[in-house]
């Protein structure tokens, strides 16, 4: 910022852009993706706004003028009005602007961290499966692929908004349209678990027709489905139950429904390898339509589903080898279970793997080896393995350092392992892609053994070594 080239801004961020605790506090300075976001409530006191402007690095700005609607000082400092909802005004500015006007120190985010809080509001923890439970269905999947949320009644109210972890618990977005029977809002969702609430004339309420409520703060829960189990035949069966590894083989909570001569059940199912069976009138059977089966520890034969991304493993050469396998974190390093097929130039295999970060190796005639075509490595249990990220959601980049012999990434996501993830050099920058959990992540680069914060990221926080860690928020 022009007016704060040598000032460290302290921004206390509970989470990205408005988790429930933040969402109900109007004036605020938060971080959302690649922007700094300044929320101003024109009903704020001058003292409150002065404090906020100081946090935003705006020195000598007249809070009284802003409260009267004069935003000249904000615009001169590079802020853009993004949205106005009544007396709530949202300004933002790209974080990359800071690279044009570097600070002597990065932005200090917070002195506190809680990396274990995976199930915090707005960032629900992963679940193996999920089935909706409505007294009256208020969330519908539309043919367009959008999900429609419906708030019945409340026609006497002036405004209703839909807020949830899918829009960072925004109090400005998610405006619902009024109909003759209630309010509706359409959202594009990926399969998974979502938490949400309605904001009716400023009051937060949950969906009273939704029987599934989060324990932590009464948010309503919705699952967008991605799989349908089907069992043909058994027209005379009285009751058919689905059970599997995803619900700890509970033979009571997933009851199949009969429709047009087919028993079926829709649900959200997490990526990964899932074993399952059907219980038909008290008798267990495998899925006759699924040829993939495996012997369970209890002696039962189970049907198996593999959900995830298709990854192609290739090993060139070694055409004289008798057997080649691949093993890694995705199969608990069990050797001899996943064979590659021989090709004209070597060996290859297409394998479905759930999203995540994995080490792996090839096993050639009993000898373990890293992937010679993969420059990226990681260390597990003191052993160096090839590294792969399946369906990564962030790519770390470090510009320059062309003379470096090795650049690695370490962070809260890999316990700051000093070996880290090896980064690859493409001629101008070092990169590595990683699958990260939502929330705050701390990290550093290790350049030829020297630890350093990210020079391209102005967000950092202190650590016990007084050297700081770079901060990244994943939504």
DSSP assignment of 400-422 equals: --TT-S-EEEEEGGGTT-SS-EE
Q: What tens digit of pLDDT does each residue of 321-368 get? A: 999 999 998 888 887 778 999 999 999 998 888 888 999 999 999 999
pLDDT(194) > 60:
yes
Residue 40 near residue 52, CB atoms below 8 Å: yes
pLDDT, tens digit, 9 for 90 and up, residues 160-185: 999 998 888 888 889 999 999 999 99
- Spatial distance between the Cα atoms of 431 and 424, rounded to a whole number of angstroms: 5
- What pLDDT shows up at residue 3? 39
Pairing state between β 107-108 and 459-461: parallel
Instruction: Please state, in angstroms and rounded to a whole number, the distance separating the CA atoms of residues 282 and 241.
Output: 9
**Nearest-angstrom CA–CA distance, 257 and 131:** 13
Q: Strand pairing of 429-434 and 356-364?
A: unpaired
The region that residue 34 occupies, defined by phi over 0 for left and psi between -120 and 50 for alpha, beta otherwise, is alpha
Closest CA to 201 of 292, 349, 86, 66: 86
Going by pLDDT thresholds of 50, 70 and 90, the confidence category of residue 294 is: confident
Question: How far apart are the C-alpha atoms of 8 and 422, rounded to whole Å?
Answer: 31
CA separation for the pair 90, 84 (Å, rounded): 6
Q: Does residue 108 surpass a pLDDT of 50?
A: no
- Minimum mean pLDDT range among 14-28, 320-334, 393-407: 14-28
User: Mind listing the pLDDT tens digit for each residue in 156-165?
Assistant: 999 999 999 8
pLDDT of residue 321: 95
Tell me which of 50-64, 103-117, 284-298 is least confident: 103-117
For residues 226-251, give the mean pLDDT: 92
Binning pLDDT at 50, 70 and 90, where does residue 124 land? Answer: low
Q: Is the pLDDT at 104 greater than 90, yes or no?
A: no
Encoding tokens for residue 291?
Answer: 């040829």
CA atoms 451, 454, 458, 459: torsion sign: negative
The helix/strand/coil state of 98 is helix
For the ranges 61-65, 207-211, 392-396, which has the lowest average pLDDT? 61-65
Q: What is the distance between the alpha carbons of residues 38 and 92, in angstroms, rounded to a whole number?
A: 6
The contacts of residue 264 (CB under 8 Å, 6+ apart) are 228, 229, 230, 231, 256, 257
Closest to 122 in 3D by CA, of 184, 193, 176: 193
Residue 222, pLDDT above cutoff 70: yes
Which residues have CB under 8 Å from 230's CB, separation 6+?
262, 263, 264, 289
User: Nearest 5°: phi and psi at 46?
Assistant: -60, -40
pTM for the model stands at 0.58
Pairing of strands 262-269, 293-295: unpaired
pLDDT at 106 over 60: no
- Angle (CA) 430 436 440, round 5°: 100
Residue 120: pLDDT band (50, 70, 90) is very low
Exposure string of 146-167, with b = 16+ CB inside 10 Å and e = fewer, is: ebebbbeebeeeeebbbbbbbb
Q: Is the pLDDT of residue 209 over 50?
A: yes
Establish how many alpha carbons lie within 13 A of residue 452's alpha carbon, considering only the half-sphere containing its beta carbon: 13
Q: How far apart are CA 374 and CA 355, in angstroms?
A: 19
Residue for token digits 């429709």? 259
**Residue 56: pLDDT band by 50, 70, 90 thresholds?**
confident
Q: What integer pLDDT is reported at residue 280 of this predicted model?
A: 95
**Residue 18 pLDDT > 50:** no
What DSSP state is assigned to residue 177?
A: E
Percent of the chain with pLDDT over 70: 85
Task: Judge whether residue 117 has pLDDT over 90.
Answer: no
Question: Quick one: DSSP state of residue 72?
Answer: H
List the structure tokens of 454.
């990210």
């Amino acid at each position: 910022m022009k007016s704060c080239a040598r000032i460290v801004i302290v921004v206390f961020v509970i989470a990205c852009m408005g988790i429930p605790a933040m969402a109900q506090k109007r004036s605020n300075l938060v971080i959302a993706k690649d922007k700094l976001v300044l929320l101003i409530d024109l009903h704020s006191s001058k003292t409150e706004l002065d404090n906020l402007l100081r946090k935003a690095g705006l020195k000598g700005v007249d809070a009284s003028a802003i409260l009267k609607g004069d935003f000249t000082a904000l615009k001169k400092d590079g802020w853009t009005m993004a949205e106005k909802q009544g007396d709530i005004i949202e300004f933002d500015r790209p974080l990359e602007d800071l690279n044009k006007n570097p600070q002597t120190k990065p932005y200090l985010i917070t002195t506190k961290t809680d990396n274990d809080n995976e199930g915090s509001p707005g960032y629900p923890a992963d679940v193996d499966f999920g089935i909706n439970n409505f007294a009256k269905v208020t969330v519908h999947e539309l043919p367009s692929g959008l999900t429609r949320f419906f708030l019945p009644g409340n026609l006497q109210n002036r405004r209703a908004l839909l807020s949830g972890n899918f829009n960072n618990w925004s109090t400005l977005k998610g405006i619902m349209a009024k109909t003759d029977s209630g309010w509706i809002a359409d959202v594009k969702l990926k399969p998974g678990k979502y938490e949400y609430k309605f904001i009716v004339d400023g009051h937060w309420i949950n969906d009273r027709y939704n029987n599934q409520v989060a324990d932590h703060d009464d948010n309503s829960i919705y699952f967008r489905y991605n799989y349908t189990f089907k069992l043909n035949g058994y027209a005379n069966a009285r009751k058919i139950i689905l059970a599997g590894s995803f619900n700890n083989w509970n033979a009571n909570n997933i009851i199949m429904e009969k429709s047009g001569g087919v028993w079926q059940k829709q649900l959200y199912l997490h990526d990964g390898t899932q074993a399952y069976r059907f219980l038909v009138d008290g008798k267990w059977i495998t899925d006759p339509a699924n040829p993939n089966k495996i012997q369970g520890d209890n002696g039962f034969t189970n049907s198996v589903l593999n959900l995830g991304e298709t990854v192609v493993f290739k090993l060139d050469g070694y055409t004289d080898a008798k057997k080649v396998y691949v093993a890694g974190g995705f199969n608990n390093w069990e050797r001899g279970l996943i064979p590659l097929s021989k090709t004209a130039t070597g060996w290859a295999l297409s394998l479905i793997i759930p999203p995540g970060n994995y080490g792996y190796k090839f096993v050639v005639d009993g000898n373990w080896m890293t992937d010679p075509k993969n420059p990226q490595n990681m260390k597990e249990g003191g052993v160096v393995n090839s590294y792969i990220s399946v369906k990564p959601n962030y790519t770390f980049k470090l510009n320059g350092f062309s003379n470096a012999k090795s650049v690695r990434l370490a962070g809260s996501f890999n316990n700051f392992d000093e070996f880290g993830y090896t980064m690859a050099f493409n001629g101008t920058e070092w990169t590595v892609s990683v699958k990260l959990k939502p929330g705050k992540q701390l990290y550093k680069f290790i350049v030829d053994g020297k630890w350093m914060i990210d020079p391209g990221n102005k967000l950092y926080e202190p650590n016990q070594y007084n050297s700081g860690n770079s901060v990244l928020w994943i939504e």
